[in-house]
């Protein structure tokens, strides 16, 4: 069982300046709920109880969000507005929230490695990148689809989707053999390749299940693309041993790390969820 979910959340979100000058990008809302809360909800529904966040400077609002706000509670007590906090309260009551700083921005692989103190190195864990907002169209959320697959394959899993070839340089890209419909045994993976060098157009999105041997591999991973420690490079070492599965998830993903994706998600949620 996957009980812990790691949220790397140290990045500055410079694409959203000035909004992210004092507010973490993970706290930007889609309608009334901050991005990270959608991720925590997904992890909780998938069976996780420990929500472990790797933070950076200026990210205090994330901690405050999942802590009691006596002023707000006092203000809305007994009013219909209490309902607006119901989902958040539910997560606060049922999950444990832990935090550790990344200290230096050395890439996603480094951020995940810093999370070792929170998730331990004796059990598999999930990773959610909160700016990849995923919704399920068929009842089971993306992380839950992946935890079910973990039961079968017992190895690291990355969620993938096909992207246009001219967009592959924004993603980690995989190649592998399809072993059941939508499930690939990964043979190679490369971080943000140029289209001419990409093995396929199958792009990794921000959902991972990682086995704990990833930490030792990350310790030995040299800076890669962009001079940063890349999780894709550490996963490639697992893939060489046949221990990485790529899964074409069912659902819809919004790239809320980009303004286009963020607006698209906002419109989608407004049209499909709020008005219902
Ligand atoms: C990270 C990963 C990349 C992955 C992407 C998904 O990149 O390094 O492999 O495809 O997340 O969103 P980032 O978007 O943080 O640059």
What residue's CA is closest to ligand 1, atom 15? 108
Percent of the chain with pLDDT over 70: 99
Nearest to 9 by CA among 44, 51, 48, 50: 51
Mean pLDDT of the chain: 95
For ligand 1, is residue 102 a contact (CB within 6 Å)?
no
The residue segments making up the domain with residue 210 are 4-274
Q: In the structure, what pLDDT confidence band is assigned to residue 198 with cuts at 50, 70 and 90?
A: very high
Q: Quick: pLDDT tens for 105-120.
A: 899 999 999 999 999 9
The CB of 232 under 6 Å from ligand 1? The reply is yes
Q: CA 32, 71, 12, 238 torsion: positive or negative?
A: negative
DSSP character for 47?
T
Q: Is 208 in the pocket of ligand 1 (CB under 6 A)?
A: no
- Sole residue written with tokens 């935890």: 147
Give the nearest ligand 1 atom to 191 CA. 9
Please give the number of the atom of ligand 1 that sits closest to the Cα of 132: 12
Which residue's CA is the nearest one to ligand 1's atom 6? 205
In angstroms, the CA 234 to CA 241 distance is 12
Tell me the mean pLDDT in the region 92-111: 95
Domain tally, the chain: 1
| pLDDT for residue 275 is more than 90 | no
pTM: 0.96
Atom number in ligand 1 closest to CA 171: 10
149 lines ligand 1 (CB under 6 A): no
Is pLDDT of 276 > 60? no
Write the CATH number for 177: 3.90.550.10
Distance CA 83, CA 35 (A): 19
Give pLDDT, residue 13: 87
**CB-ligand 1 contact for 115 (6 Å cutoff):** no
Could you identify the atom of ligand 1 that is nearest to the CA of residue 203?
A: 10
Q: At what angle do helices 86-94 and 35-45 cross, to 10 degrees?
A: 50
Q: Say if CB 145 and CB 23 are below 8 A apart.
A: no
Question: In 3D, which of 130, 121, 158 has the Cα closest to residue 55?
Answer: 130
How far is the centre of ligand 1, averaged over its atoms, from the C-alpha of 272 (Å)?
27
């Amino acid at each position: 069982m996957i009980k812990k979910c790691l949220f790397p959340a140290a990045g500055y979100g410079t694409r959203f300046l000035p909004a992210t000058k004092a507010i973490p990008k993970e706290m930007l809302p889609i309608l009334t709920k901050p991005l990270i809360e959608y991720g925590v909800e997904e992890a909780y529904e998938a069976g996780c109880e420990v929500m472990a966040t790797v933070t950076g400077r200026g990210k205090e609002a994330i901690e405050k969000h999942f802590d009691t706000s006596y002023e707000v509670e006092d203000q809305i007590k007994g009013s219909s507005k209490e309902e607006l906090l119901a989902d958040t309260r539910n997560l606060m009551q049922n999950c444990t929230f832990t935090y550790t700083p990344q200290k230096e921005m050395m890439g996603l692989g480094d951020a995940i490695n810093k999370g070792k103190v929170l998730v331990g190195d004796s059990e598999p864990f999930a990773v959610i990148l909160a700016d990849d907002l995923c919704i399920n169209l068929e009842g089971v959320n993306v992380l839950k689809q992946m935890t079910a697959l973990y039961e079968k394959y017992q190895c690291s899993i990355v969620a993938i989707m096909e992207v246009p070839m001219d967009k592959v340089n924004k993603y980690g890209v995989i190649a592998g053999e399809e072993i059941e419909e939508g499930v690939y045994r990964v043979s190679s993976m490369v971080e943000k390749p140029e289209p001419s060098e990409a093995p396929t157009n199958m792009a990794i999105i921000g959902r991972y299940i990682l086995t704990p041997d990833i930490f030792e591999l990350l310790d030995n991973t040299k800076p890669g693309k962009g001079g940063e420690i890349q999780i894709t490079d550490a996963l490639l070492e697992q893939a060489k041993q046949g221990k990485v599965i790529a899964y074409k998830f069912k659902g819809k993903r919004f790239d809320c790390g980009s303004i286009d994706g963020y607006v698209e998600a906002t419109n989608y949620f407004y049209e499909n969820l709020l008005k219902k």
